Amino acid sequence: MAEVEVTGPVRDQTGNAPIDATIEFRLRHRPADSALVAGGGVTIAPVGDGNFTARLYREPGLPTVYDVIMHHRPFTGAEIVSEDIGPIVIEADGTYPIASLMPLKIPPGATDTAEIRQGDRLEFGGVWLDEWNRPINHAGIAISSSMLGPDGTTRALAVTKGAPESGSFAIAMDLAATMTLPVGTHQIDVKFSAPDRVVRTITSQIEVKTRTTP
C-alpha cells in the first residue's frame, strides 16, 4: 500500500497555533479494495503547538483527493468549531507540508467581470489554476491576450508573466489606448499555448464606461 506523510504547521484565523486542535483527512474516493484503507478512509491527526504529522493512503498511479477539516477552539473555553481547509490532491510519494498542497483561496464575490472608464489604465492579474485551484507552472507556455469590443474590433493586450511556479500573469492596456475604446462590453480572451497546440483559453469581460471627467 502506498502512503505519504503530510505535516504541519497550521494556524488559526489569528495566525496563532490553534487550541485543542485536530486535523481530519477524509478520503474522497475509496479504492475498490477497501481493506487497503484504514479507518474507513478517515484519518485524524492531533495538533500540538500548531504541528502535526499524518500518514495517508495514496492510490498508486492516480491523484488521491482528501477533504481536510480542522477542528479547534477559536479561544480558550469556547466550543469546538470545524473549519474546511481542503481539498488537497496527492499525486506522488513523499512528505508534504500541508501548505504546499492547499488550493488557492478564491475570495467570496470574485467575478470574471470588471469595469473601467475610458482613459483609465486597464490592468489586472490572474493565476492559471488546475481543476483543484492549484497554480499551474507556466514555464514553456506562451500567454497572449486580446479584447474583442462591441464594435467588432479585436485589440491586443500586453501580458507579463510572473514566476512560472506561481502560475501568475498580468494583463494591461495603457491610458491612451483605453481613451479610444468604445463604450460597452468587451470580451477578453487569455490564451495559453504550448509550441504545438493551444492548451487553454480563459474568457472574461470588461465593461467600459464613458469618461465623466477631463
Q: What is the pTM assigned to this prediction? A: 0.73
Res 199: pLDDT: 82
| Residue 103 amino acid letter | P
Res 8: pLDDT: 92
Cell of 131: 481543476
| Better-scored residue on pLDDT, 1 or 88 | 88
Do 113-209 and 2-101 fall under one CATH topology?
yes
Res 59: pLDDT: 86
Strands 113-117 and 197-209, by their bridges, are: parallel
Containing H/E element for 175?
helix 175-179
Containing H/E element for 159?
strand 154-161
Res 112: pLDDT: 80
pLDDT for residue 87 is more than 80: yes
CA distance 128 to 166: 8
CA distance 124 to 114: 9
Q: Indicate the domain borders of the chain.
A: 2-101, 113-209
The C-alpha cell 477552539 sits at 73
pLDDT in tens, 14-71: 999 999 999 999 998 877 666 656 667 899 999 999 999 999 998 888 889 999 999 9
Res 61: pLDDT: 83
Res 191: pLDDT: 93
Res 211: pLDDT: 83
Res 16: pLDDT: 94
pLDDT in tens, 104-125: 887 777 778 889 999 999 998 8
Between the CA atoms of 198, 200, 202 and 203, what dihedral angle is there, to the nearest 10 degrees? Answer: 50
Mean pLDDT of 157-181: 94
* Opening angle at CA 47, ends 46 and 51, nearest 5: 135
pLDDT in tens, 121-160: 999 888 999 888 889 999 999 999 999 999 999 999 999 9
- The CATH T-level fold of domain 113-209 is Immunoglobulin-like (2.60.40)
User: Under DSSP, is residue 176 helix (H, G, I), strand (E, B) or coil?
Assistant: helix
Cell of 69: 477539516
Cell of 83: 473549519
Res 36: pLDDT: 59
- The CATH T-level fold of domain 2-101 is Immunoglobulin-like (2.60.40)
Are residues 100 and 154 in contact, defined by beta-carbon separation less than 8 angstroms? Answer: no
pLDDT interval class at 78 (50, 70, 90): very high
Res 1: pLDDT: 62
